[in-house]
Chain A
């Protein structure tokens, strides 16, 4: 589709004649920017320059200030001190609208399309062209030019459709098209790839590269090292609100970037000392089958053992985990937990029996964002905190919350801080702590480090190992090769709903696990 589209994307000028925006590309600079939220100083005299024709990536741990910096550049936050310049001319970015008028557009982490409005109207939000008297909206011209804009990007979306029918990837690209329609030549992407599949990432990167080749100034945030290496022309690393390193393509080096991010060096080639499962399995699954998602799954997990589920997204890994934990129907098979048949047990019963599932999407299934850390940390065992006739033991509750914060090295002001104020990695630690506080004997962790920064990742790995050392049987579902190699005693490859390979001990290498991901492993022994 992209091959047939015109070589240039600069359709902002001619197709939206009524717009008040003048397209400008140029060198966007932040000079000694300071920004605090209440007592929290997020940006400390940060200076950064984005140049035309370059993809400039910000890396850094969660909470380092990357998003805040982009939001300052896009006029969402006003800096407390410092200046923003475009080709050396100072800008006054009072609000996002003012920034857009200067050609600066931020594609937000969560696309902010209005679900009940059409795609076309979303694209023209705030600049609907009118004609005649009384000033009637020119719907026909809006639809035509919106449709053309999307086609130019290679998107097959009906602009008359309500925006709520779009996938997240499509919404992001519509945001991108909005930037182009407004004639913006400086586009900032705040972690656009985290909700996307690898195919969608490839599509987005294709567009970003075209924009770069057309001389756009591009900013990008991502946690995924491979992606960053792939798309960036320049990388700046932020730590605790200050730039700690800036490198161009010649200086791309994982170890260097990671140490700039966390301020200490981490070994990327950590590898677990493999333990063979001994004794009676804590979890035994036999012949587990689902009408469509998977079939004939046999699995044993021993106390103290970490078993990895390797496979592509959609291979059935999450579905199998959910079926084991009673969250999904199954048409055949048995699940035994410590000798007890829990195949048809209720969910509270399964949790009580000692099996927990920590889901992948913490915003949807794990964390209650408006509530405090304390409420989240104790949500898994609230019934155990009762005193007398249903009174809550507030003292004990606060203790548990404090313990969770300390044990999981959560960066927070205290137990009363709302979850939503924490960074992704810290939220994940709390969710983790919530489930582990019930002392399960078997835990299934679905993508335990998704959207988590490098430092927090290391904490979570250490924690998983501690739990395993204490005798917990653990299943880790992960799409990251490195993670599986670093953590697991045994790796089960799942492909198209079946177990296609099992690797243990010395068999676990990057090559063998990589092959297992693609379903190319040997059949299980």
Chain B
């Protein structure tokens, strides 16, 4: 019997995981306070509510995107799904007076169907995710034009608007969609950390072949992940049309929500190569991006600079995040 022992690999100190979230939160609050100091209107309740609701839409979509990226995939079609859903349910509320209670499950089903199409292309037809979803981005975006006939949908029903702006809990000024995001985020966290399906997502993202060899249903996992991303994107579209009261054929795609959702996931600490994700980071990242976009407007940055300014902030946030050792 051998008497040798094995040298331990040199142990690196694990960076505290919460550092990224806290930093991002502090920076976001600093921007709010800073801009609020220069432009007091920035701190008014209706503007704060607007930022929070934008963050909810972005957050719902970015959580789906985070799941996809964790499998080392990407979903470029989320903005098109969001737009299609916003137009479909906006129209349904104005024309056939679809009640909200029916719109909610229907929208989730629509998104899940569209997302499953992505999942089939990726897992069974084996098209690389970036190509498959680039195709469906155009496909779903095109459907949005056909459904809306190129015109704007407005005058959505009061019932919808109520969902967008009402407070579910009397006395607490928390808009219902915020509770929805909180619920989705908590559930997503539970799935990721405490359910086999969540761990399978990470295993597939780490090494799909090794996951298959270990008996993990790789294809089914991918299918469900794209289905969830679609459902959440569709939910985001419903929230959008509910609180803005309008939608057009370029809702979602026009603002490049697909790229924003990817940026949010990366800012939040999810690895672009897959295998590791950070849902808390995604939620805070959504608030960060929403605040940045609004701040650019309030600071009277010329409109032609919005997109460039937003991009600059994203690059800065991702770079600083990588420096923190989060990507190691």
| Nearest B-chain residue to A2, judged by Cβ | B1
A458 to chain B, nearest CB (A): 33
Contact B214 A1 (CB under 8 A): no
- Would A117 and B195 be within 8 Å (CB), given that A125-B211, A167-B7, A205-B2 are in contact? no
Partner of B203, one of A114, A206, A210: A114
Whether, in the assembled complex, B323 has its beta carbon less than 8 Å from a beta carbon of chain A, the answer is no
Whether, in the assembled complex, A95 has its beta carbon less than 8 Å from a beta carbon of chain B, the answer is yes
Whether, in the assembled complex, A384 has its beta carbon less than 8 Å from a beta carbon of chain B, the answer is no
Find chain B residues with CB under 8 A from A121 CB: 199
Whether, in the assembled complex, B6 has its beta carbon less than 8 Å from a beta carbon of chain A, the answer is yes
Whether, in the assembled complex, A493 has its beta carbon less than 8 Å from a beta carbon of chain B, the answer is no
Max chain A C-beta neighbours (<10 A), residue from B202, B203, B211, B216: B203
The complex places the Cα of A136 from the Cα of B206 at a distance, in Å, of: 22
Question: Which residues of B (87-127) have their CB < 8 Å from a CB of A?
Answer: none
Contact A125 B216 (CB under 8 A): yes
The complex places the Cα of A226 from the Cα of B37 at a distance, in Å, of: 76
Whether, in the assembled complex, B196 has its beta carbon less than 8 Å from a beta carbon of chain A, the answer is yes
Contact B9 A97 (CB under 8 A): no
Partner of B6, one of A100, A117, A137, A155: A155
The complex places the Cα of A169 from the Cα of B199 at a distance, in Å, of: 25
Main secondary structure of the interface of B (DSSP, over half): loop
A155 to chain B, nearest CB (A): 6
Contact B1 A209 (CB under 8 A): yes
Partner of B275, one of A2, A112, A115, A170: A115
Contact A100 B215 (CB under 8 A): yes
The complex places the Cα of A36 from the Cα of B210 at a distance, in Å, of: 23
Contact A115 B206 (CB under 8 A): yes
The complex places the Cα of A126 from the Cα of B215 at a distance, in Å, of: 5
Contact A112 B8 (CB under 8 A): no
Partner of B213, one of A112, A115, A137, A209: A112
| Nearest B-chain residue to A171, judged by Cβ | B9
Partner of A97, one of B7, B194, B199, B213: B213
Contact A112 B202 (CB under 8 A): no
A165 to chain B, nearest CB (A): 6
Contact A95 B194 (CB under 8 A): no
Whether, in the assembled complex, A154 has its beta carbon less than 8 Å from a beta carbon of chain B, the answer is yes
Max chain B C-beta neighbours (<10 A), residue from A76, A116, A200, A209: A116
Whether, in the assembled complex, A202 has its beta carbon less than 8 Å from a beta carbon of chain B, the answer is yes
Annotate A106-146 by CB proximity to B: 1 below 8 A, 0 otherwise: 00000011111100010001111010001111010000000
- Would A114 and B1 be within 8 Å (CB), given that A125-B214, A137-B196, A165-B12 are in contact? no
- Would A96 and B213 be within 8 Å (CB), given that A112-B207, A114-B203, A114-B275 are in contact? yes
Find chain A residues with CB under 8 A from B203 CB: 114, 117, 125-126
Partner of A203, one of B5, B199, B205, B209: B5
Contact B276 A116 (CB under 8 A): yes
Interface size counted on chain A using CB atoms at 8 A? 44
Contact B207 A156 (CB under 8 A): no
Find chain A residues with CB under 8 A from B12 CB: 165
Contact B8 A95 (CB under 8 A): no
Whether, in the assembled complex, A3 has its beta carbon less than 8 Å from a beta carbon of chain B, the answer is yes
Contact A3 B1 (CB under 8 A): yes
Annotate B197-237 by CB proximity to A: 1 below 8 A, 0 otherwise: 00100110111011111111000000000000000000000
Find chain B residues with CB under 8 A from A100 CB: 215
Contact B6 A170 (CB under 8 A): yes
Contact B196 A117 (CB under 8 A): no
Annotate A418-439 by CB proximity to B: 1 below 8 A, 0 otherwise: 0000000000000000000000
Contact A127 B210 (CB under 8 A): no
Find chain A residues with CB under 8 A from B212 CB: 95-96
Whether, in the assembled complex, B271 has its beta carbon less than 8 Å from a beta carbon of chain A, the answer is yes
The complex places the Cα of A200 from the Cα of B7 at a distance, in Å, of: 8
- Would A117 and B8 be within 8 Å (CB), given that A112-B213, A128-B196 are in contact? no
Contact A200 B2 (CB under 8 A): no
Contact B4 A116 (CB under 8 A): no
Question: Which residues of A (198-219) have their CB < 8 Å from a CB of B?
Answer: 199-200, 202-203, 205-206, 209-210
The complex places the Cα of A127 from the Cα of B200 at a distance, in Å, of: 10
The complex places the Cα of A160 from the Cα of B6 at a distance, in Å, of: 18
Find chain B residues with CB under 8 A from A95 CB: 212-213, 215
Whether, in the assembled complex, A520 has its beta carbon less than 8 Å from a beta carbon of chain B, the answer is no
Contact A173 B6 (CB under 8 A): yes
Find chain A residues with CB under 8 A from B4 CB: 199, 202-203, 206
Find chain B residues with CB under 8 A from A127 CB: 214-215
Contact B199 A156 (CB under 8 A): no
B225 to chain A, nearest CB (A): 16
A509 to chain B, nearest CB (A): 29
A180 to chain B, nearest CB (A): 15
A40 to chain B, nearest CB (A): 21
Find chain B residues with CB under 8 A from A128 CB: 196, 199
Find chain B residues with CB under 8 A from A170 CB: 6, 8-9
B113 to chain A, nearest CB (A): 24
The complex places the Cα of A113 from the Cα of B207 at a distance, in Å, of: 8
Partner of B210, one of A3, A112, A130, A203: A112
Contact A206 B214 (CB under 8 A): no
- Would A126 and B214 be within 8 Å (CB), given that A114-B203, A117-B203, A206-B4 are in contact? yes
The complex places the Cα of A210 from the Cα of B2 at a distance, in Å, of: 10
Question: Which residues of B (232-264) have their CB < 8 Å from a CB of A?
Answer: none
B224 to chain A, nearest CB (A): 15
The complex places the Cα of A170 from the Cα of B4 at a distance, in Å, of: 14
The complex places the Cα of A199 from the Cα of B3 at a distance, in Å, of: 10
The complex places the Cα of A406 from the Cα of B9 at a distance, in Å, of: 43
The complex places the Cα of A206 from the Cα of B224 at a distance, in Å, of: 45
| Nearest A-chain residue to B276, judged by Cβ | A116
Contact A206 B275 (CB under 8 A): no
Find chain A residues with CB under 8 A from B8 CB: 156-157, 167, 170
B273 to chain A, nearest CB (A): 9
| Nearest A-chain residue to B2, judged by Cβ | A206
Question: Which residues of A (86-101) have their CB < 8 Å from a CB of B?
Answer: 95-97, 100
The complex places the Cα of A237 from the Cα of B246 at a distance, in Å, of: 75
Max chain B C-beta neighbours (<10 A), residue from A96, A114, A135, A199: A114
Whether, in the assembled complex, A312 has its beta carbon less than 8 Å from a beta carbon of chain B, the answer is no
Whether, in the assembled complex, B16 has its beta carbon less than 8 Å from a beta carbon of chain A, the answer is no
Whether, in the assembled complex, A10 has its beta carbon less than 8 Å from a beta carbon of chain B, the answer is no
Max chain A C-beta neighbours (<10 A), residue from B8, B196, B213: B213
Max chain B C-beta neighbours (<10 A), residue from A100, A125, A137, A139: A125
Find chain A residues with CB under 8 A from B275 CB: 114-117
Find chain B residues with CB under 8 A from A155 CB: 6
Whether, in the assembled complex, A385 has its beta carbon less than 8 Å from a beta carbon of chain B, the answer is no
Contact A116 B211 (CB under 8 A): no
Known: A97-B215, A113-B210, A167-B7. 8 other contacts (CB 8 A): A2-B3, A76-B213, A115-B275, A116-B202, A136-B195, A137-B199, A167-B8, A170-B6
A-B residue pairs in contact (CB < 8 Å), sample of 15 = A1-B5, A2-B1, A3-B3, A112-B210, A115-B206, A116-B202, A117-B206, A125-B216, A126-B214, A135-B196, A156-B5, A202-B2, A203-B4, A206-B2, A210-B1
Interface residues, chain A, with chain B CB atoms under 8 Å away: 1-3, 76, 95-97, 100, 112-117, 121, 125-128, 130, 134-137, 139, 154-157, 161, 165-167, 169-170, 173, 199-200, 202-203, 205-206, 209-210
Among all A-B residue pairs, the 10 with the closest Cβ atoms: A206-B2, A126-B214, A97-B215, A114-B206, A116-B275, A112-B210, A96-B213, A126-B215, A167-B9, A116-B276
